[in-house]
Amino acid sequence: MWQKTKNLYHLGIAIFSNIWLNFPSRKLTIVGVTGTDGKTTTTSLIYHILNSAGFNASMVTSVGAMIGGKNYDVGFHVTTPSSFAVQKFIKKAIGAGSKYLVLETTSHALDQYRVFGIKYEIGVLTNVTHEHLDYHKTYENYVKTKAKLLEMSKMAIANKDDESYDLLELKSKSLNSKLVSYGMGKNADVNPVNFPFKTNMIGEFNKYNVLAAISACQALGVPAKDIRKGILTFEPPKGREDIIYKKNFTVMIDFAHTPNAIDQILKAVRPAVKGRIIHVFGSAGARDVTKRPLMGKMSSKYADVIILTSEDPRKEPVEKIMEEIESGITKKVKVLKISDRKKAIREAIMMAKKGDFVVMTGKSHEKSMNYGQGEVEWDEYKVAKDALKALEL
């Protein structure tokens, strides 16, 4: 009941911001990207392809807003900004001469009407995996909320290989008539057979992100040769499969913070690792607790050493969160529990030997940590690099 009341408040703000700023989304083409995993990479890839092909585009992601080539901060732990902030970004994009805006759109933003009134030309759904069930309660409700973006868009693009596809009520004329599917199989409208491509990004999950971007860019009229060129020249956003050190051993920072994302990134790197995978991660406090054992399970499928630590515990005891993650570990692996994330990262780097692969997931680009007393400054990159310097590497 309280959430519904808050949502009505957000709706009121969204209506006001649309009117106050004169419905800016009607003046350019907007592509919305939603999904549990891959939103930021897919949004950034569509943006990159458009600009490299000569289409003037801007974007808003969890890493930041890129408007007319200028970077803007979107705040702490924010994916889709408030309705007023979103409308202001859209207006800035118009002022910067952009004809296209690619907007990362969360299920929370959809449910809370933060994107109400935005005229989406294309809606893209990457996938729906285990996340945010504290908010949405069931997987079906989560899919239904994500599907709102597809329903409000002129064209809908969805991953045919994802579990969510069968729940999108594709028999509904309103969605089925405008749906374009992508996937690895020939039964998908866009697939690697009818649109072959090369990418420098690792992992099968990124092939799906590429196919989603291809589908959107084709719909916008970008020539195939320009799409392929954009894919090859694309560099992932900060904190996505980001290798910061590669000598005797390797150190990577990645944003993976769901069971599926952990599974995908570790599965992608495992074949190339000659030594051990040392995985440092935690789980956010006061958020979906049901995913924690699954995160432990996915990590233990590939990691040789697991170091559990803090990841925005908020007011939850870190020890409790770590125990819940540990309860899902199914294989006999070495597990360390170090609540101080800085010490956990230092320990991981100090224990790394030749051929080992250290990966820290969950924080990546985020600039703050929440221990229950508000946001405090955090820089995953600086912590890791300081630990490497301490070894005089």
56 and 176 assigned to the same domain: yes
Tell me the angle at which helices 292-302 and 318-326 cross, rounded to the nearest 10 degrees.
Answer: 60
- If one counts the domains in the chain, the total is 2
**Does 207 share its domain with 248?**
no
Residues 94 and 127 in one domain: yes
Same domain, 160 and 76: yes
Each of the 393 residues of the chain gets a pLDDT tens digit; together they read 556 677 777 788 888 888 989 899 999 999 999 999 999 999 999 999 999 999 999 999 988 899 999 999 877 555 567 888 899 999 999 999 999 999 999 888 898 888 999 999 999 999 998 665 556 578 888 888 999 999 999 999 999 999 999 888 654 566 777 899 999 999 999 999 999 999 999 999 999 999 999 999 999 999 999 999 999 999 999 889 999 999 999 999 999 999 999 999 999 999 999 999 999 999 999 888 999 999 999 999 999 999 999 999 999 999 999 999 999 998 889 999 999 999 999 999 999 999 999 999 999 999 999 998 889 999 999 999 999 999 875
Q: Say which CATH number the domain at 89 has.
A: 3.40.1190.10
Show which of 177, 203, 233 is a domain's final residue. Answer: 233
| Three-state helix/strand/coil letters over 222-259 | CCHHHHHHHHHHCCCCCCCCEEEEECCCEEEEECCCCH
**Bridge partner list, 226:** none
Same domain for 167 and 266, yes or no, is: no
Among residues 201, 233, 265, which one ends one of the domains? Answer: 233
138 shares its domain with 172:
yes
Q: Quick one: CA torsion of 355, 251, 345, 300, rounded to 10 degrees? A: -60
Is this structure's pTM higher than 0.95?
Answer: no
Residues 82, 213: one domain? Answer: yes
Q: Are residues 170 and 254 in the same domain?
A: no
Give the span between the Cα atoms of 143 and 152, in whole angstroms. 15
Say yes or no: 158 and 111 in one domain. yes
CATH code assigned at 253: 3.90.190.20
Residue 283, domain extent: 242-390
pLDDT for res 1: 58
Query: Of 203, 233, 263, which marks where a domain is finished?
Result: 233
User: Other CB atoms closer than 10 Å to residue 45's CB: what's the count?
Assistant: 30
Are 305 and 162 in a shared domain?
no
Same domain, 205 and 299: no
Question: How high is the pLDDT of residue 248?
Answer: 94
Max CA pair span of the chain: 63
Whether residue 298 is found in the same domain as residue 347: yes
